[in-house]
Amino acid sequence: MGVKKAFLLIFGFVPAMLALAGDDDKTLRYENFIYEENIQTVLLFQESSNDHMPVLGLGADDRLMLLFDQLGTENEYFQYTFVHCNSDWTPSDLQPMQYLEGNMFDNIESFQYANNTYFKYVHYRLSFPNEKIKPKLSGNYLLKVYRNFNEGELILTRRFYVLDSKIGITGTAIAATRPDYRFNKQEVDFTANTKNYLVINPFQDTRVVIMQNYWQDNAITNLKPQFVNGQDLIYNYEEENVFGGINEFRFFDTRSLRFASMNVDKKYFFEGAYHTRLIPDEIKAFKRHVNLIDYNGKRVVDNKDGNDGNIDGDYTWVYFTLKSEVILPDSVYVMGELTDWRIQERFKMTYNHANKAYEGKALLKQGFYDYMYVTTPQNPAELPETTFTEGNYFDTENDYHIFYYVRNQFLDYHELLGFKRINSNTSRK
pLDDT bucket at 8, cuts 50 / 70 / 90:
very low
Q: What is the DSSP string of 64-118?
A: EEEEEEEESS----EEEEEEEE-TTSSBPS--HHHHEEE-S-EEE-EEEE--S-S
pLDDT at residue 124 tops 70: yes
Cα 57 to Cα 166: distance, rounded to the nearest angstrom? 11
- Is residue 54 within 8 Å of 45, Cβ to Cβ? yes
pLDDT at residue 271 tops 70: yes
Per-residue pLDDT averaged across 75-102, rounded?
Answer: 98
Q: Residue 428: what pLDDT? A: 63
pLDDT at residue 61 tops 60: yes
Cα dihedral value 25, 31, 32, 37, nearest 10 = 0
pLDDT at residue 296 tops 90: yes
Residue 426 host element (H or E):
helix 424-428
Per-residue pLDDT averaged across 416-427, rounded?
Answer: 94
Phi, psi dihedral angles at 23 (to 5 degrees):
-90, 65
Per-residue pLDDT averaged across 285-302, rounded?
Answer: 95
Dump pLDDT digits (tens) for 76-87: 999 999 999 999
Residues in the chain: 429
More confidently predicted of 414 and 13: 414
pLDDT at residue 16 tops 70: no
**Range scoring the smallest mean pLDDT among 5-19, 26-40, 134-148, 236-250:** 5-19
Q: Residue 23: what pLDDT? A: 45
Q: Residue 379: what pLDDT? A: 80
- Is residue 224 within 8 Å of 201, Cβ to Cβ? no
pLDDT at residue 4 tops 50: no
Dump pLDDT digits (tens) for 274-285: 999 999 999 999
Strands 315-323 and 281-282: parallel
Dump pLDDT digits (tens) for 184-220: 999 999 999 999 999 999 999 999 999 999 999 999 9
Cα 330 to Cα 359: distance, rounded to the nearest angstrom? 15
Dump pLDDT digits (tens) for 373-398: 999 988 877 899 999 999 999 999 99
pTM for the full model?
0.93
Phi, psi dihedral angles at 424 (to 5 degrees):
-65, -35
Phi, psi dihedral angles at 284 (to 5 degrees):
-95, -20
Q: Residue 380: what pLDDT? A: 75
Cα 348 to Cα 341: distance, rounded to the nearest angstrom? 14
- Which residues lie below 8 Å from residue 381, measured CB to CB, with a gap of 6+? none
Dump pLDDT digits (tens) for 230-263: 999 999 999 999 999 999 999 999 999 999 999 9
pLDDT at residue 119 tops 80: yes
Q: Determine the residue type at 16.
A: A
Cα 267 to Cα 259: distance, rounded to the nearest angstrom? 9
Q: Residue 7: what pLDDT? A: 38
Kindly tell me the burial class for residue 364, based on how many C-beta atoms sit within 10 Å of its own C-beta (0-12, 13-18, 19 or more).
Answer: buried
Domains of the chain: 3-163 (2.60.40.10), 168-245+395-428 (2.60.40), 250-376 (2.60.40)
